[in-house]
A and B are shown apart, each in its own frame.
Chain A
Amino acid sequence: MHLGQSREGNLKTLFIIVKMPTVCLYLHVHQPWRIKRYRHSAIGKDSTYFSDEGDFDTNNEKMLLKVAEKSYKPTNRVLLELVRDYPEFRLGISITGTAIEQLERFSPETLELFCRLVDTGKVEILAETYHHSLAFFYSLEEFERQVELHRQKVKKIFGVGPRVFRNTELAYNNELGLWADKKGYLAILTEGWDKVLEWRSPNFVYSPKGAKKAKLLLKNYMLSDDIAFRFSQKTWEGWPLTAEKLSGWVSALNGNGEVVNLFMDYETFGEHQWEDTGIFSFLRALPGEILKHPDNNFKTPAEVAEHHASRGELDVPHVITWADTERDLSAWTGNAIQQDALSQLFSLEDKVYKTKRRDLIENWRKLTTSDHFYYMCTKWFNDGDVHAYFNPYESPYDAFRYFMNVLADLKLRVDA
């Protein structure tokens, strides 16, 4: 059992006067513009990089429609029911600009369902980079541009303004905490990672080091991953997971935890956990079970930040993320080809903007999406754990090849 993340809470935090546990459910929606199988021979001739219309998993429309049918639509319908049936139920959603674009283009009816959810007033939309990028670590200027683009898009589509920030992959360090504070965000989300928390529990609200106002909400990865990863794992001692069981674990924190942050991908429902695992019945039953205990309630991330005081500053000098066992950026920036691709991409930034050409700038930005670099990851390639590693390309080396071919074409266009 990891320090600070026992389901029973942490004795050392008992001295704090504790209120009832709030459940903060937050779901993340993202689709990248996958690069097609763009060969060297296309350089200088073909400037459509994201337009695979074939059978490969690089066909963005095909992928979007699949996930919309399996996950987005059924999940949205369940959430709409829940919001209607349980007035206290609420949640946070983040949805990247690239995902919104694809929904607009390929499945407007799915986007409409998201809008209906936001219109209930019970669903808060979070701020993030439009392109699901790691720009914060490469170019603050570009990062801020993408956050602003996202804000505008969310305003236009959903008519709301985000007040809480989540960075791509919940990547976080002190610097980003201070940035969010300076920009006036109520809170920023990241992983409740033991190495950072040490003896502390993730089930309290903290604040970034040196922040004046912004809070830090930390994912309770134990309970979140019970749903997101372990739900259908028959070898897990907690299987089968029922809403009642999870709610019991949450309620057991009553007295030594204030907020249980359940953060996960939207695709958990229907895509990572298929419908036949019972994931939708679980979701349907969850609010009722949680609210059976009179001390429990639901809050959105902004509400959590507003209602709960910080229990202390958290010092995060090195980047943490919600990814892998390492909780770092190594899946995106860990190997030589990823670093090469990122550095060549960002070294093109000024030249791209100087052209003032929207098409070039837009292409370049789409290339900043973190997924492209994730596909180049070789670390799981070693131990044969292919299941943990979805890749629309034949190999990480091929992912790099197509990316660099596209970048070479973009360079030609920029220099022209």
Chain B
Amino acid sequence: MKILMFGWELPPHNSGGLGVACLGLANALVERGEEIAFVLPKRLGNYKVPFKIFFAGLPEAGLAYGRTAFAEGLMGEVEQYARFAKKIALENRFDVVHAHDWLTFSAGIAASRASGRPLVAHVHATEVDRTGGLGSVSGEVFQKEKEGFEAASKIIAVSLRTKSILTGFYGINPSKVEVVHNGIDVPPGPAETDEGLEALKKSGYKIVLSVGRITLQKGIDYLVSAAAEVLRARPKVIFVIVGSGDMEGQIMSQVGRLGLSGNFLFPGFLRGRDISGIFGSADLFVMPSVSEPFGLVALEALAHGKPVIVSKQSGVAEVIKHAMKVDFWDTDEMADKILSVISSSSLVRLMAENGSKEVLSCTWAKAAKEISRLYLSL
């Protein structure tokens, strides 16, 4: 089938998991014989992909994250994107419109209306997650999301957790929502390591890694609280927090206030070999998210052969058995789990061995197969 797919970013020019997921999925769909035409708001460099990309040429469009939902002009870009979408829909032939997350929903709706083709809304994250699943939901973004969900013939949620948010917060009929868990393409080749971290390990340190945007949603502040407990019991642990975000300053001052600056590293946002090396040298990966629709990065850690602790408030917790799971707010329990893993080589070995085996079954091919079936059902 011919799919007109709307995204906001693709690797290597991406700011987070959304781009990674779009690429993994589009590649796997192409592999299955689906024809993908992918639309991006703006060219940010070169892309090596096995499908065609249309660029809307929005002059100011940046990455999906790294700016707040209220960034000046963002809503304008979304509307501009929709106008371009209508144009492209009238000039091309396709069977289905598939739009990823709210930034592209207006474009998806416009393309669907112009062509009369059904819209599939793919939900990787909601405003409810981004605000920690608790507080006030931004009216404008929430509204855009709701519009997209309502206009769609089918909605794909990346987890049961996300599905329940769609039905609970947005009032969507559950029969309209299908859960398709994300996958991962396990990278072949030898594991890389990070020189600096290896040196620390040689002098007896254990490395606990977390990777993700430093925002309310990602719960790094809870990991810092747990770290304080871990370090009381075992001082030679380094916590590496990879990523950037609007809570960075707050987290750093929390670490400083607790007197833990010597045990924390903040290398910023990393990609490619740099992040692979850090994964390779870590003893344990922790994802303490407050509200995580899926949490692809946990699969990446497993694929790197690392034991993993994930919050129960994550979609990935639904698909992975060989991980320890913890409520993000239970920092005492989180500390205990961290301590038990870094204190036991047998536990590290077994969790890594079983986890890296289990992650092999979490493929994009599996997700693509389910989505192909969904296209046919439209």
Contacts and interface: CB of A to CB of B under 8 A. Distances in A.
A59 B332 CA distance: 21
Interface residues of B, number: 24
Interface in A380-416: 381-382, 384, 394-395, 397-398, 400-401, 404-405
A122 to B, nearest CB: 47
B336 A397 contact: no
Interface string B335-351: 11101100110110111
Contact of A397 (B324, B333, B343): B324
A394 B327 CA distance: 12
Interface string B289-326: 00000000000000000000000000000000110110
A394 B353 CA distance: 19
B358 A397 contact: no
B1 interface: no
Contacts, number: 64
B346 A337 contact: yes
A401 B340 contact: yes
B233 A337 contact: no
B322 A381 contact: yes
A349 B343 CA distance: 22
A400 B353 CA distance: 16
B354 interface: yes
B229 interface: yes
A335 B350 contact: yes
B350 A337 contact: yes
B367 to A, nearest CB: 19
A381 B355 CA distance: 11
Nearest to B346: A340
Contacts of A400: 340, 344, 347
B250 to A, nearest CB: 26
Contacts of B349: 336
Contacts of B350: 335-337, 378, 397
B340 A378 contact: no
A41 B346 contact: no
A65 to B, nearest CB: 28
Of the candidates A335, A336, A337, A398, the one having the most CB atoms from chain B within 10 angstroms of its own CB is: A336
A404 B340 contact: yes
B146 to A, nearest CB: 36
A405 B336 contact: yes
A120 interface: no
A40 interface: yes
A29 to B, nearest CB: 32
B359 to A, nearest CB: 13
Interface in A325-384: 335-337, 339-340, 378, 381-382, 384
Nearest to B321: A381
A41 B336 contact: yes
A397 B351 contact: yes
Given A39-B333, A395-B325, A381 B354 contact: yes
Nearest to B233: A40
A337 B353 CA distance: 12
A390 to B, nearest CB: 16
Nearest to A386: B321
A339 to B, nearest CB: 7
Nearest to A403: B340
Contacts of A397: 322, 324, 340, 347, 350-351
Contacts of B229: 41
A41 B234 CA distance: 12
A165 to B, nearest CB: 32
A404 B325 contact: no
Contacts of A384: 321
A340 B340 CA distance: 13
A378 B336 contact: no
Contacts of B357: 382
Contacts of A404: 340, 343-344
A395 B337 CA distance: 12
A376 to B, nearest CB: 9
A395 B341 CA distance: 14
B346 A336 contact: yes
Given A337-B346, A378-B350, A40 B325 contact: no
29 contacts: A39-B332, A40-B233, A40-B336, A40-B339, A41-B233, A41-B332, A336-B347, A336-B349, A336-B350, A337-B344, A339-B346, A340-B346, A378-B354, A382-B354, A382-B357, A384-B321, A395-B321, A397-B322, A397-B340, A397-B347, A397-B351, A398-B337, A400-B340, A401-B324, A401-B336, A401-B340, A401-B347, A404-B340, A405-B340
Given A340-B344, A394-B325, 17 more contacts: A40-B340, A337-B344, A337-B346, A337-B350, A339-B346, A378-B322, A378-B354, A381-B354, A384-B321, A395-B325, A397-B324, A397-B351, A400-B340, A401-B337, A401-B347, A405-B336, A405-B340
Interface of A: 39-41, 335-337, 339-340, 378, 381-382, 384, 394-395, 397-398, 400-401, 404-405
